[in-house]
Structure formats: structure tokens, C-alpha cells
Structure 1
Amino acid sequence: MDEKPPISKQHLTKDQALQKLRHYCAYAERCHSDVVNKLYDLGVWRKEHDEIIATLIEENYLNEERFAKSFAGGHFRTKQWGKNKIIQALKQKGVSPYCIKAGLKEIDEDDYEQTLQKLFSRKWESLKGTSNRFAKMKKATDYLLQKGFESHLIQPLFKASND
């Protein structure tokens, strides 16, 4: 059996990497950790990472606050995530607490409450066959918590549904 030679990563020059990362950041908002991971994927030497990231920040290709706003607003609107889930995802990406707070301001409170109500109603209706009200409440609560909504906002929804 013939063995294949190990695949070696190409090592890009700093200018080549910078050009690729400009396209990468221009295509969609990115956070610092996304860019660092991309640098590793591109095989860029570790000693050049900080300088490349600094250049991207100076040229406004990389802006963590802008990323947090885009991420929070987008994930709320498209995936209907609650604030807790958005916060956890941003923390996982290493986004600063200041930027996370700025990102959450992108979510309109009225839209947030309407989305929560809509998700609750949809879930509650899907549980019509469940005869035990407490089992139904638990399933609905677990679903909304998993979506990232706060428990203090979920509980009042049950008072409104006398089903």
C-alpha cells in the first residue's frame, strides 16, 4: 500500500494573507476569533497574526462592535434566538461584554416580546394532544429557554393562556 505524503499547508506572505482576509471580512461581518481561525487555516505564521489583525482594524474591515450588532440583530430576526442564546454565542466567539451589550441594543423590545409571544403560541398549539397542563407548560418552557428567552418573560405567558 502506497502512503501519500503528508499535506503541508502553504505559507502565505503577509500581503497575500491580508488580501485574502480583506475579501473574507468584506463578504460578511467577522469577529477577531473568526479571523484568527482563518489565519490558521491559511497557514499564516503566528508571529504575523497581530500585525494583520491590527491592519484590518485600522482599515475598518474588522470591527467587533459592528460584528456584535450584526450577529445579534441577524440571529434574532432569522433564527428567532432569545438574548441569552445570543449572549452565549457571542461569548463563545470571545466578543467583549461592551460589544455584546451594544449588539443587544439592536433588538427592538416590542419585536422581542412579539416574537416570544408568537413562538409561545405556536408551541402551545403544537402541544394540543398533551392532556396534562403541567407537562405542556414544561415542554413550552423548555422550548423557549432553549431558544434563549429569559424565564421571567416566559412565566407570564401561561397566565394569559387558560387552555
Structure 2
Amino acid sequence: MRQTHKTYTVDEAKAKLESYCAYQERCHRDVQKKLREMRMIPEAIDLIIHHLLQHNYLNETRFAQAFARGKFRTKKWGRQRIVRELKFRDISQYNIKIALQEIPESDYLETFHELAEKRLRQLENETNVQKKKKKLADYLLYRGWESSMVWEKVREVVSGEL
């Protein structure tokens, strides 16, 4: 017996994608991928995306803002990582700039210092200062914090331990 895939009419696909977008903010790329998985033809994809945009189910600016807020608050990502991930999702430079304004500077700096302190506590048993510096820097850089901030923190730590 051959396995058949469910086919959708344009109206069924619209309804499905409306709830998909209402559940959580999505970017154009996610929506296009979902429609391709549903085996929709390019003309139908364009039609449905236009419908979602018109009815405000799909809004790239809103997605970028929610993404930046969420990744900063929950995963404690720095601006570099957020920008990289938004670019990966084909978000415009304009929307990336707006998204980064969602993160208050005071919260940003406070989170950075808390994260660095937490990582240092985890590295207390590391006796080799060079290794400790490298591990701290790698951790913060991977999370997307600006290298100038990271190296400043590393220098601070080293001077505090001598």
C-alpha cells in the first residue's frame, strides 16, 4: 500500500497557518518552510503569505522583537548571537536594529555580569589561570557577548585573583 500525503486546499492551508502563526511569532522563512512541507505550490505559498501579512498573523518586526527579548531573557544571549540568529532567519537589518532596542542597556550589563560571575563560580576548582581565562572567555563569546566586554571581564578576573 502506497503512503499518501495529506493535501490541503488553499483555504485549509490558510486556516492551519493562521493558527501556526497565532500560537507563536514566526518569521517568513518558518512559514515558507511549513507551506513547502505541506506540499503547497509556489503560487499558493505567495497567496497564503500575503493573506497572513494582510491580517497581521505574520509580522517580521514583531517576530524579531519577540525573538530578541526571549533569547536574551531565557537563554541569556548577547547581542552578537541574537543578531547572528536573526540574520540566519533572513531578518532585515532594519528589523534587527529595532529588535535590539527591546533589550534595556542596564539589564544587558547586569545579565552579562551575573552570567560571568556564575561561570566563574563553576570554574573555582580550575587552578591554571590561563585555562580559567580561556574557559570564561569561550563561554561568554559562545553566548554572543561582545568581545570587548568579555576581554575586559577576563582582565578584571585575573587582576582580582593575583
- CA RMSD across the alignment: 1.2
What is the CA-CA distance between 1:157 and the residue it aligns to? Answer: 1.5
What is the CA-CA distance between 1:46 and the residue it aligns to? Answer: 2.0
5+ residue gaps, structure 1, are: none
Match of residue 129 from structure 2: 133
1:67 aligns with 2:69: no
Match of residue 160 from structure 1: 156
What is the CA-CA distance between 1:92 and the residue it aligns to? Answer: 1.2
1:113 aligns with 2:144: no
CA distance in structure 1 between the aligned counterparts of 2:15 and 2:125, rounded to whole angstroms: 57
5+ residue gaps, structure 2, are: none
CA distance in structure 1 between the aligned counterparts of 2:154 and 2:69, rounded to whole angstroms: 27
Match of residue 17 from structure 2: 21
Tell me the TM-score normalised to structure 1 length. Answer: 0.93
Aligned residues between the structures: 159
1:11 aligns with 2:23: no
Contact 1:11 1:45 in 2 (8 A): no
Match of residue 85 from structure 2: 89
1:44 aligns with 2:45: no
